[in-house]
Amino acid sequence: MALFGTNGVRGKLDVLTPGLAFDLASSFASLQKGKELVLAMDMRKTSSMMHSAAKAGILSAGKDVLDLGLASSPVSEYFLSKSPACGLIIVTASHNAPEWNALKFVDENGVAISRERGVVIEKMALAKNYSKAGWKTVGKTSACSTATHDHSSAVLKAVDSEKIRKKNLKIALDFGNGTSVLSKKVFESLGCEIVLLNGKLDGTFPGRPSEPSEQNVQELCKEVAKESADFGVAWDGDSDRVIFVDEKGKWIVGDKGFAISAKKACKEDKGKEKFVVTTVATSRAVEEACKPFGAKTVYTKVGAPYLSEKMHELGKKAASGGEEVGGIIWPGFSIAKDGIFAAAKIAEMVCDSPLSQLVSELPIYYNSKCVLKVSPEKKNVVLLAAQNHAKQMKGKITSVDGVRIDTDGGWAIVRASGTENAIRIFAEAKTIKASEKLMQEFKKVAEEELSKSP
């Protein structure tokens, strides 16, 4: 039974039970060399329950808990980077619907636990083969209530706060009823006039679905235009994903928000050798935007753990990191996706140029996407067919996660979903027509393979 997905273990209450949360937390704690682990949670209806189960699991394994209570993922991961703790568990299902929950695991280096690294944890959990402390050696709990404040203070020091205050920006902030609400002080302290949307913590997400997709943030787009705001921001439930809306009320796809940030980061980075880390599903606009600054782009599997693994490996050579869904990493601040810090940096950039102009300066690409339902046993067969087809094309093949083919005119990727019985096909090109043609080409390859008898 595979438990770990793209980032941690997630599921509805019938799958991710308090008992399983206890077993997983005990197993993770047992594997850590240090004595103390950090624990945090979001505001979902089941989070308090899962948080209690995870805490009990850590204590039962004989390890101590430093409890942050209600805190966003970026805040928790930043806190870990500044503490001597040996790991972190965050109870949050991020952008998923309210009936979902999850446990995200982060090691002492700030690197999220991937599906591959999670195998050991899940085997221990399922076999209940973890440390079991006696009554004299159970762990102890301490609490920290300043994590969000400390993170906010660090953000304000790391951006040009004075420059932003002088500009008197007007920003529409759609907190989506998530943990980003806790960091509202950042933007108040920057002297911004705030247009507030969905600003009450609520694990049922009454204002909009947690994922800040174009469809889900239409209210924000309208408010930005109506209020003549300088730009708009929308976060997901745990604040690691962030999406922007320009001053005209136009939603900006996650690739472009990341590309703007990466370009700025590369410009600021004075290192002789610098790298931008992103996933194989991210727009080539990122690579092209950063290349003039001497940056090389490194592609990883899809998922936050693979980004943080590579960022940690590269160390100071990593100038920027991120992914197409709105995850942005500023490694000088943290190797975690941090939607709060990313938004503050965008505010700094907008002081010099309107957001729409920053977008217009990026390389132009159009993308086409589709999803095909595929049984688990057929996934590898379809990927093999896609790889064989890609080999017949003139281009560079990347196989770290599915099959990506880069040609002069654009690129396409065929990859198996990490959460569904599905194959995802993305294509990108300089025109919509070319993008659609490339996507349809690989879709046909997949469908022909699926039509064959088992």
Q: What residues are annotated to the active site?
A: 94
Residue 284's nearest CA partner among 413, 411, 437, 417 is 411
Which two structure tokens, joined as six digits, stand for 304? 């936050």
Q: How far apart are CA 303 and CA 10, in angstroms?
A: 14
How many angstroms separate the Cα of 177 from the Cα of each of 43, 97, 242, 376?
A: 9, 13, 14, 35
Cβ contact 285:362 at 8 Å: yes
**Cα distance between residue 62 and residue 65, in whole Å:** 10
Question: 116: alpha, beta or left, given left = phi > 0 and alpha = psi -120 to 50?
Answer: alpha
- Select from 77, 65, 83, 68 the least CA-distant residue to 7: 77
Residue with tokens 């590269």: 314
Coil vs helix vs strand at 197: strand
Distance CA 247, CA 240 (A): 23
Helix, strand, coil shares of the chain as percentages rounded to 5?
40, 25, 35
Radius of gyration in angstroms for the set of CA atoms belonging to the chain, rounded to a whole number: 22
* Cα 239 to Cα 94: distance, rounded to the nearest angstrom: 8
The neighbour count for residue 296, using CB atoms within 10 Å, is 14
Contact 44/10 with Cβ under 8 angstroms?
no
Is the Cβ–Cβ distance between 159 and 169 less than 8 Å? no
Q: Hey, is 86 helix, strand or coil? A: coil
Do 19 and 50 touch, CB atoms closer than 8 A? no
Q: What six digits make up the tokens of 93?
A: 């299902």
